[in-house]
Chain A
Amino acid sequence: MLSKRIISCLDVRDGKLAKSVKFVNTVDIGDPVATAKKYYEDGIDELVFYDITASSDNRNIMIDVVSRVASNIFIPFSVGGGLRSVEDCSRVRMAGAEKINLNTAAVSNPQLISDASMVLGAQAVVLSMDVLRVGISSQIPSGYEIVTHGGRNRTGLDAIEWAKKGETLGAGELVVNSIDADGTKEGYEITLTAMIAQAVTIPVIASGGGGKPEHLYDVLTKGHADAALIASMLHYGEYTIKEIKQYLRDRGIRVRLS
C-alpha cells in the first residue's frame, strides 16, 4: 500500500533558511542544503523549498540552492516562490527540482497552471493555495477564501472552487495551507483539508498548524490528506522525523520507515 508522506517545508531567503511564523518576523536559522540533507538522512519523504527572497536580484542564489540540493539529496523536492512564467518553472526544473510550486502567480494568471502542466507534465505541477476562514457568504459558499501575500490580499475566490479549477487546469497535487493555523502549532485545519480532499481526485498535502505528531494523525485520517507538511516542529528540534513516523505507525498509519 501507498504510504502517507511526511514532507518538510524549508523557507529560503537570500539562500538562507528561514521559518515564517504567521508570515511575519522571519528569522534566519541556517543553511537550507545542510538542513535538507539532515532531514533526508533522517527519513523525510519529500521536501519543499519556498523562496521568500524579496529582491528578484537574488533569484540566482535560489537556483544555486536547488542545484546543490539536487546533487546531494535523492528524494523528490519541489520549489516555489517567485515563479511567474513557464520559463521560471523550467529553470528550477533544470536545476534539479522534481516539481514546481505555484501560488500567487497562479491566482493572477490561472493559465500558468495549464502552461506549466503542458510543458513539465501534471506530475511536476503543485498548486499551493493559502486559505483563510472567512465565514459562509454567497460569494464564498464554502466559508474559505483564497488569499495571497501571506493573507493580506483577499481574492474573492472560494477555496473549493479554486481547488477544482486547479485540478482541471492541470495541477498534479494541491498544497492546502491554512493561514489561520499557520504558525500556531495547534493542529491542521481539518475541516478545510477534508472538504478539499473530497472535492478533487489529485493528492492533497495539508499545511499549516502541525505542532505535535497527533496533529499529523488527525489530518491524515479525519482530514483525508495524502501528505502532511511540517516545518517548525522539525526546525527547532522539538521532534525528529523518526519519532513522528514511529508515532504514526504505532497508531496504524502506513508511513515509510527507512
Chain B
Amino acid sequence: MIAIVDYDAGNLTSVKRALDYLGLSSKITPDPKEIRSAERVIFPGVGHAASAMKNLIARGLDNALKETFAAGTPVLGICLGTQIILSGSEEGNTTCLGLIDGYCPKFKLTNKELKIPHIGWNSVDLKKSHPVMNGIRSGEEFYFVHSYYPQPKEIDCIIAVSDYEIEFPVIIGKRNLVATQFHPEKSGPSGLCILSNFSKWDGSVC
C-alpha cells in the first residue's frame, strides 16, 4: 500500500489515478498513523510552501514524515512536496521539514521572454543513476509547473537538473527519499515509468 499524504495542498487525485491506472494500491490519507505504517509514501502537493507547512504541522504530519524517512520507508516527493522536504523556502519565508539540507529560492531570471511560473515540458538531464529512474533516458522531458526550485546544500543529493536560463536541480534524493520538481503523474509514459519504479523500490540507492 502506498500512502499519499493529504494536507490540503492541491489536487491529490491525479497521483491516485495514475497509481490506479498502473494497478498499484494506494490511499490518500491525512492520518499520521497511516503514513507511519505505509509500505511507501508519496508526498505530492501544489500550492504555497508556508501554508502547506502550517497544514502539515496542524495535522502532525511533519513528525510523521520525519519519522517515516528516518525509518527507511521509501518516500517520493513531488513538486511542492519536493520543495518542503528541504530546510526552508523563500515562499512565505518558512522553515520546512529539513529531511534534506537545502533551500528553495524563487527563479530570478533576466530574460524577459521566459515566463514565471516555469510551466510546460522541459528536458531532465540525469547527473547520476538512481533505481527510481531506471528506464529514463537523460534528456527526456517532463511536465513542470512551479516558481520556486529545490537547491540542496550537498551536490551529492542532486540526481538530475534542467535548464531555464539557469541550471537548477529537478530530481533530488538522499537514502530512501527521492523527489521530483516535475509531475510524474502528468508526464505521460515516462512519468508513469517513475511511479512504477518507485512502487518496486526498496529504498536503497546502490
Residues of chain A at the chain B interface (Cβ within 8 Å): 1-5, 40, 45, 70-72, 74-76, 93-94, 96, 98, 121-124, 172-173, 201-203, 224, 226-227, 256, 258
Contacts of A258 in B (CB 8 A): 141, 188-190
Bound-state Cα–Cα, A201 to B17, Å = 32
Pair A3/B188 contact, Cβ less than 8 Å: no
Selected A-B contacts with CB under 8 Å, 10 pairs: A5-B121, A70-B13, A74-B188, A75-B186, A76-B145, A94-B11, A98-B14, A203-B115, A203-B120, A226-B119
Could you mark each residue 3-31 of chain B with 1 if its beta carbon is under 8 Å from any beta carbon of chain A, else 0? 00000001101100110110000000000
CA distance A88 to B185 in the complex (A): 24
The answer on a CB contact under 8 Å between B141 and A96 is no
Q: A1-B123, A75-B188, A258-B189 are in contact. Are A201 and B21 (CB under 8 A)?
A: no
Interface of B, secondary structure class, is mixed
- Complex: A226 Cα to B114 Cα, angstroms: 9
Question: Which chain B residue has the least Cβ–Cβ distance from A98?
Answer: B186
Taking CB atoms, residues of chain B closer than 8 Å to A224 are 113
Cα distance, A202 to B145, chains bound together (Å): 12
Q: Decide yes or no whether B47 CB sits under 8 A from chain A.
A: yes
Say if the beta carbon of B143 comes within 8 Å of chain A. yes
**DSSP class of A's interface residues: helix, strand, loop or mixed?**
loop
Question: Which residues of B line the A interface, CB within 8 A?
Answer: 10-11, 13-14, 17-18, 20-21, 46-47, 112-123, 141, 143-145, 163-164, 183, 185-192
Complex CA gap A226/B121 in Å reads 11
Contact check: which of B17, B18, B163, B192 meets A1 at CB < 8 Å? B163
Q: For residue B191, which residues in chain A have a CB less than 8 angstroms away from its CB?
A: 74
Q: How far is the CA of A130 from the CA of B192 in the complex (A)?
A: 36
Alpha-carbon separation in the docked complex, A2 to B121 (Å): 6
A123 touching B120 by the CB < 8 A rule? no
Residues of A within 8 A of B122 (CB): 1-3
**Given A2-B122, A75-B143, A227-B120, A93 and B11 touching (CB < 8 A)?**
yes
Across the interface, name the chain A residue whose C-beta is closest to B22.
A74
Given contacts A71-B17, A71-B21, A98-B14, contact A123 B117 (CB under 8 A): yes
Measured CB to CB, the closest approach of chain B to A116, in angstroms, equals 14
CB closest chain-B residue, reference A70: B17
Known: A173-B119, A202-B115, A203-B115. A71 touches B20 (CB 8 A): yes
* Complex contact B141–A121 (CB within 8 A): no
Check if B47 sits within 8 Å of A45, measured CB to CB. Answer: no
A71 contacts across to B, CB distance below 8 A: 17, 20-21
CA distance A202 to B18 in the complex (A): 28
Identity of the chain A residue whose Cβ is nearest the Cβ of B114 in the assembled complex: A2
Across the interface, which residues of A come within 8 angstroms of B183, CB to CB? 76
In angstroms, Cα B117 to Cα A2, docked, is 12
Closest 6 CB pairs of A and B: A256-B141, A256-B121, A3-B121, A123-B145, A2-B122, A203-B115
Q: Which residue of A lies closest to B113 (CB)?
A: A224
Least Cβ–Cβ distance between B105 and chain A, in angstroms: 18
Q: B119 touching A3 by the CB < 8 A rule?
A: no
Residues of A near B112 (CB, < 8 A) are 201
CA distance A5 to B186 in the complex (A): 14
The listed residue with most A CB atoms (<10 A of its CB), out of B46, B112, B119, B192, is B119
Task: Beyond the given A3-B122, A96-B13, please list 9 additional residue pairs across the A-B interface where CB-CB is below 8 A.
Answer: A1-B122, A70-B14, A96-B11, A172-B117, A201-B115, A203-B115, A226-B120, A256-B121, A258-B189
Which of chain A's residues have a CB closer than 8 A to the CB of B46? 121, 123-124
A197 to chain B, nearest CB (A): 9
What residues of chain A lie closer than 8 Å to B117, measured between beta carbons?
122-123, 172
The interface residues of chain B lying within 8 Å CB-to-CB of A172 are 117, 119
Interface-centre pick from A1, A93, A202 (highest chain B CB count, 10 A): A1
